[in-house]
């Protein structure tokens, strides 16, 4: 992504989030003061982070049909392990997502052509002249604004509150600016899919779903971690709890002393790069 293209897209987005209280500083001061530092401008940081998520999405977009079958099996094993770990901890199963479709179900709905399109849509999402960009910005900012309004009205955000089915709330929880960048970009990317398939007879419900497509980023991150190719900051942001300054999406839901993603080892077994024969 060229810097000029990133700056244009960031500026266009900035002009659309004036009604989100938690992003007022970004709106008023610009991205340099918001997330820039002495090493890179705010636009460079946002652009670099976007590219990092593109890599995660590409890992999913380029999956073979055999790999999809492998992931569906992995996710079934993860669900079984999750239920056991919850029971051992005396807690209810915590999905950590409001998605109405599992990772496996989403992958079953997308053939190889549709999976490849995920990356193309994400690229279009960085082009301020694209209708995909316009649609994704509108839907993403609408959901951010709605979440802010609901929280301000005293509504408790949660997967069991249907008022938040079409609203984001993570940005209302006092997260740091750079963490906010990861929060917004990762969710924004799911809205590029919605910009293409909203209202579609087969994929419309999936496109509208709050977290279903976001779950594919989890899959992509875990594949890249297994391959040793995932941007470290993305891994850290997803693994850390909110109290530690993270997003709390890949944290251990049952053991607060475990700082690693408890689901990662399932992906490691399937996608870890094998050492060449004769080498130790």
pLDDT digits (tens, 9 = 90+) for 28-69: 998 899 999 999 999 899 999 999 999 999 999 999 999 999
pLDDT, residue 15, reads: 87
Residue 132 has pLDDT above 90, yes or no: yes
The upper half-sphere exposure of residue 54, i.e. CA atoms within 13 Å in the direction of its Cβ, equals 15
pLDDT, residue 158, reads: 82
* Cα–Cα distance for residue pair 55/59, rounded to 1 Å: 6
Residue 1 has pLDDT above 80, yes or no: no
* Residue 277: both structure tokens together: 């024969």
CA atoms 106, 108, 114, 117: torsion sign: positive
pLDDT, residue 278, reads: 47
Percent of the chain residues past pLDDT 70, beyond the cut: 96
pLDDT, residue 277, reads: 43
- Residue 78's φ and ψ, nearest 5 degrees, are -65, -45
The size of the chain, in residues, is 280
183, 171 contact by CB (below 8 A): yes
* Cα–Cα distance for residue pair 50/185, rounded to 1 Å: 6
Q: What is the mean pLDDT of the chain?
A: 93
pLDDT, residue 141, reads: 96
Percent of the chain residues past pLDDT 90, beyond the cut: 85
* Cα–Cα distance for residue pair 114/60, rounded to 1 Å: 11
Residue 275 has pLDDT above 70, yes or no: no
Residue 4's pLDDT band (cuts 50, 70, 90): confident
Residue 239 has pLDDT above 80, yes or no: yes
Residue 280 has pLDDT above 50, yes or no: no
Dump pLDDT digits (tens) for 78-124.
Answer: 999 999 999 999 999 998 888 999 999 999 999 999 999 999 999 99
């Amino acid at each position: 992504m060229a810097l000029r293209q990133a700056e244009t897209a960031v500026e266009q987005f900035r002009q659309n989030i004036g009604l989100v209280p938690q992003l007022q500083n970004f709106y008023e001061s610009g991205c340099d003061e918001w997330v820039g530092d002495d090493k890179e401008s705010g636009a460079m940081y946002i652009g670099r982070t976007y590219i990092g998520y593109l890599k995660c999405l590409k890992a999913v977009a380029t999956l073979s049909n055999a790999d999809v079958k492998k992931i569906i099996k992995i996710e079934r094993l993860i669900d079984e392990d999750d239920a056991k770990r919850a029971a051992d901890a005396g807690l209810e199963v915590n999905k950590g997502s409001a998605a109405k479709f599992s990772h496996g179900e989403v992958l079953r709905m997308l053939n190889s052509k549709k999976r490849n399109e995920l990356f193309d849509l994400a690229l279009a999402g960085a082009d301020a002249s694209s209708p995909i960009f316009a649609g994704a910005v509108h839907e993403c900012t609408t959901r951010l604004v709605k979440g802010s309004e609901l929280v301000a009205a005293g509504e408790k955000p949660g997967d069991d509150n249907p008022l938040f089915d079409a609203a984001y709330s993570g940005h209302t929880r006092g997260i740091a600016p750079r963490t906010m960048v990861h929060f917004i970009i990762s969710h924004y990317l799911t809205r590029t899919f919605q910009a293409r398939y909203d209202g579609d007879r087969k994929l419309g419900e999936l496109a509208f779903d709050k977290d279903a497509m976001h779950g594919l980023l989890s899959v992509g991150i875990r594949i890249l971690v297994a391959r040793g190719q995932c941007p470290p900051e993305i891994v850290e942001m997803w693994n850390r709890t909110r109290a530690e300054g993270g997003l709390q999406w890949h944290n251990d839901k049952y053991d607060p002393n475990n700082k690693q993603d408890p689901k990662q080892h399932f992906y490691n077994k399937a996608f870890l790069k094998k050492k060449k024969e004769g080498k130790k």
